[in-house]
Structure 1
Amino acid sequence: MLKRHYHALVLAFQFLTRIPVYKVFSIANTVPTPQVSGKALLYYPVVGAAIGGWVVLLPAALNHFGILVGPQLQAALVLVFWVWITGGLHLDGLADSADAWLGGFGDKQRTLDLMKDPTCGPSAVVVLVLTLLLKWLALSEVIHFAQTAASWWWLMLVMVPVLARLQAMVLVVHTPYVRGEGLGTQLKNQVQAKWVWFWVMILVTLMLYQTIALSSAMLATSALGYALMRRLMMQRIDGWTGDTAGASIEVTELLLLLVMAVSVSVDL
């Protein structure tokens, strides 16, 4: 049992990041069973915490050593690293979903077919550019404020990728998988819903302990964003796919960064 969970944790990092775990952990070179593939979903928030930790490391280190680099440049470097460490996986899902939603004309099968198309249309390009631009601007505000704010502000930034992957976990558990076979089938069939509530309680408690106002705003935004995105998926394709799950992660991260950026001016 422990070996399965250990393999699932390593598999979650293999799937969601570019971290070369196969060079460190020999089990990463073992073909996972369907049970292990399903359990990997349980560790998505852990992967999010690792990504968040690396995201805050650069600006925090620069601030600690007194290296005078503007917040705009720091945000750009952080965003480049953020995209690199995830391999652009979720951005790819966002691009495919954008093309499919705008080009599907409300038809389920056409939307699903477009998501399989490897080419990137103008809709995808526009959505990707706007998403990265807004992320960069929001990160600039967050980093600039965090350099003079309390230490818990960095923790809130770490929670951005954590909450984004938690909502993907909720999406998989509580939403039908559209395609008949694939990794999504294993995730849907194996995961247990009780783990969702375990992660929700742990993260909510941790966040509210640090700051009630900002945490409440971030949690409410994450929940509302999830509800709206799930509704769109159910209306258009009657469920989720890997592309829409990836898109939901990107959108959630963007919304949470915007909430943090706005909170700077309203003093949450």
Structure 2
Amino acid sequence: MNFTSFWLALQFLTRFPVPRTVTPGPAALGWSVVMYPLVALLIGMALALLQGALQYQHAAPGLAAGLLLTAWVVISGGLHIDGLADCVDAYVGGYGDAERSLAIMKDPRSGPMAVAAVVLLMLVKFGALMAIYEKHINLPLLLIPVIGRSFVALILLTTPYVRIRGLASPLVENLPRRPAITALAVSAFCAWLALGPWPLLAAVLAVWGLRSVAIRRIGGCTGDVLGAMIEISEASALAACALIEV
């Protein structure tokens, strides 16, 4: 493992600039998944700093939530939102047929149910961000991106990857098991200490539910499933933070 793995994770998960062109090897690709929580922490730091600046300027809660959500989407480049839309289209249009569902996931067009799912998820995030902003708490923004991306390693280690020569195939083949589990455990423990059990439990239930649906419908996971998992687990944990005192 070297800095190449970190730059790969940063390049894939965000639109932050990297200092040089990264030429990945198989081992670096696998280790890049271990770096996901660290890159997610950078995303969280950017969001927490933005919220702090908005609080300093006494921005209205609705405006602050809108700017935070926009920044969140821009930083990730909408990568995971695309996965969510593809999964919803496949679930609705696949009629339970795995091959048909996988073919729909590769279609760049989005149907009305996919659009509705993305809008609803953004509304949940917007409302939760507004509530968190009004409570003047910053830890959820710092750690929830970490929670969502930490589960990627868990899904890759426990779920068949069904897309032959898919985008995540090299990650699955070269993912170091023990470091990945360690990174997940440390991330979950820190989130538990900082946020309490409920946001983490909400994210775990969301991930377990989506994994169960994916196994039932397509026999495992794909890159789109991973993206959808990140978005849904983030929204679930964020809503839990908004509903309780952190």
TM-score of the two chains, using structure 1 as the length reference: 0.87
Q: CA deviation at 1:192?
A: 2.0
1:206: which partner in 2? Answer: 190
2:112: which partner in 1? Answer: 122
> Given that residues 210 and 229 in structure 2 are in contact (C-alpha distance below 8 angstroms), is that contact kept between their aligned partners in structure 1?
yes
Query: Please, which of 49, 52, 75 is the counterpart of residue 57 of structure 1?
Result: 49
- Gap change, CA 1:120 and 1:261, over 3 Å in 2: same
Partners of 1:207 and 1:127 in 2: CA distance: 27
1:92: which partner in 2? Answer: 82
1:218: which partner in 2? Answer: 199
Query: Please, which of 138, 148, 158 is the counterpart of residue 154 of structure 1?
Result: 138
Query: Please, which of 152, 156, 167 is the counterpart of residue 183 of structure 1?
Result: 167
Q: Which runs of 5+ in 1 are unaligned?
A: 147-152
1:15: which partner in 2? Answer: 12
Letter in structure 2 aligned against 1:161: P
Question: Residue 246 in 1 paired to residue 208 in 2?
Answer: no
> Given that residues 84 and 227 in structure 2 are in contact (C-alpha distance below 8 angstroms), is that contact kept between their aligned partners in structure 1?
yes
> Given that residues 192 and 200 in structure 2 are in contact (C-alpha distance below 8 angstroms), is that contact kept between their aligned partners in structure 1?
no
> Given that residues 37 and 183 in structure 1 are in contact (C-alpha distance below 8 angstroms), is that contact kept between their aligned partners in structure 2?
no
Pairwise CA RMSD of aligned residues?
1.5
1:63-119: CA deviation from partner (whole Å, max 9, x where unpaired)? 2x3x22111110100100110010000000111111111111111011000000111
Identity of aligned residues (%): 37
Q: CA deviation at 1:157?
A: 2.4
Partners of 2:35 and 2:206 in 1: CA distance: 22
Query: Please, which of 221, 240, 243 is the counterpart of residue 259 of structure 1?
Result: 240
Q: Which runs of 5+ in 2 are unaligned?
A: none
Question: Residue 47 in 1 paired to residue 31 in 2?
Answer: no
> Given that residues 84 and 118 in structure 2 are in contact (C-alpha distance below 8 angstroms), is that contact kept between their aligned partners in structure 1?
yes
Q: CA deviation at 1:193?
A: 2.1
Query: Please, which of 128, 133, 136 is the counterpart of residue 126 of structure 2?
Result: 136
1:104-136: CA deviation from partner (whole Å, max 9, x where unpaired)? 111101100000011111111111111111110
Letter in structure 2 aligned against 1:88: G
Partners of 2:32 and 2:193 in 1: CA distance: 28
Query: Please, which of 85, 93, 99 is the counterpart of residue 103 of structure 1?
Result: 93
Q: Matched residue pairs, number? A: 246
Q: CA deviation at 1:208?
A: 4.0
TM-score of the two chains, using structure 2 as the length reference: 0.95
2:2: which partner in 1? Answer: 5
Q: CA deviation at 1:47?
A: 1.2
Query: Please, which of 207, 211, 219 is the counterpart of residue 230 of structure 1?
Result: 211
Partners of 1:155 and 1:139 in 2: CA distance: 12
Letter in structure 2 aligned against 1:115: M
1:219-251: CA deviation from partner (whole Å, max 9, x where unpaired)? 212222221111111111111101111000000
1:159-188: CA deviation from partner (whole Å, max 9, x where unpaired)? 111000011221112111101113311111
- Give the secondary-structure state (helix, strand or coil) at the position aligned to 2:2: helix
Letter in structure 1 aligned against 2:201: A
